Structure 1
Amino acid sequence: MPDLIILRGNSASGKSTLALELQRALGPGTANVGQDHLRRVILREHDVPDGDNITFIADAVRSCLRLGYTTILEGILYSPHYGTMLRRLLAEHPGTTHVFYLDVPLDETLRRHELKPMTVPASKLREWYHRLDLLGVEGEITVDGSPGLPEVLAVLLDGIGPVTAPQQALDPDRFV
């Protein structure tokens, strides 16, 4: 049974970079479902309550899990908009689940945004920032996202432990 890993946090908390490194560390047979890609790139939808992306994200996660992939879902995933969907995914998944919230102070997210190619005004980032937007689910872990990537990745890998790759992941010609 594949693991379901949910990685949440504010903008510029390191979620996307961390999810990519986590996917690499867990190896073939690990899927990385990014909220921003599905919502902003594929659907071009704003983050609104009851947006179409919410169902789309849930369906993508379910599909990856059904195929046997350990699945990482990463994004801000603001709980008033996504909480019901996330809790449903967690409740219906018969395998192991891991929920991490990256806690990064507002000042650090503002600093990190200055390094990104996409510029968002600081006033907008302050508006979006929600300190500890937790889901309140069993086993949810708040991780200090301020240290460097290797330290935060080590915390996640320690919390997740070993995962089992699906049978198709054993084919070295199939995966990058």
Structure 2
Amino acid sequence: MAYIDMSARFALDNGLDVVVEGILHSEIYGDMLTQLQRDHRGVTRAFVYELGLEETLRRHRTKTLAAEVSEEQVSSWYRESDRIPELGEIVFDADASASDALAQVLAEVGWGEAE
């Protein structure tokens, strides 16, 4: 966790855009992400997929990583509604296509439209 925080802060302090992405459980990463957002002087947005376990597993099956990471592992990582309220997360549900989600992310952070 300290490495994620340090790396993000270093990049932000040097004028770079940063995306912190991953399975970031609120009980482990919530305080760090909240403080990172509070400390950042520029545009900061948080996005989260709100998916049920079955949809999460269905999407996992479509990835090449599925051969290396079992559904049992994914299930053990799954947390229903694992949100961090202080971040003001923008929520994507199962109906949001990848292109719709990307377009919204780009619009929210001011990067324009997806090409």
Q: TM-score, normalised by structure 2?
A: 0.81
Q: Distance in 1 between matches of 2:94 and 2:43?
A: 23
Task: Say which of 30, 44, 55 aligns to 2:2.
Answer: 55
Q: Distance in 2 between matches of 1:144 and 1:159?
A: 17
Q: Distance in 1 between matches of 2:87 and 2:58?
A: 32
Task: Say which of 61, 68, 71 aligns to 1:122.
Answer: 71
What is the one-letter code of the residue matched to 1:110? L
Q: Distance in 2 between matches of 1:139 and 1:116?
A: 29
Task: Quote the offset at 1:96 in angstroms.
Answer: 2.1
Task: Quote the offset at 1:80 in angstroms.
Answer: 0.9
What RMSD, in angstroms, separates the aligned Cα atoms of the two structures? 1.9
Is the counterpart of residue 154 in structure 1 residue 89 in structure 2? no
Gaps of 5+ in 2: none
What is the one-letter code of the residue matched to 1:156? V
Gaps of 5+ in 1: 1-53, 164-176
Higher helix share: 2
What is the one-letter code of the residue matched to 1:120? V
Q: Could you say which residue in structure 2 is the equivalent of 1:170?
A: none
Higher strand share: 1
Identity of aligned residues (%): 35
Task: Say which of 132, 141, 153 aligns to 2:90.
Answer: 141
Task: Say which of 45, 69, 87 aligns to 1:98.
Answer: 45
Per chain length, whose mean CA-contact separation is higher, i.e. which structure has more relative contact order (CA < 8 Å, sep 6+)? Answer: 1
Q: Distance in 2 between matches of 1:143 and 1:101?
A: 6
Moved more, 84-93 or 105-114: 105-114
Moved more, 60-69 or 143-152: 143-152
What is the one-letter code of the residue matched to 1:81? I
Task: Say which of 17, 22, 44 aligns to 1:70.
Answer: 17
Is 1:108–1:146's contact at 8 Å kept on the other side of the alignment?
A: no
Task: Quote the offset at 1:75 in angstroms.
Answer: 1.0
Q: Distance in 2 between matches of 1:138 and 1:152?
A: 18
Query: For the structure 1 residues 123 and 138, does the alpha-carbon distance in structure 2 shift closer, same or farther, using more than 3 Å as the test?
Result: closer
Task: Quote the offset at 1:90 in angstroms.
Answer: 1.1
Q: Distance in 1 between matches of 2:42 and 2:105?
A: 18
Q: TM-score, normalised by structure 1?
A: 0.56
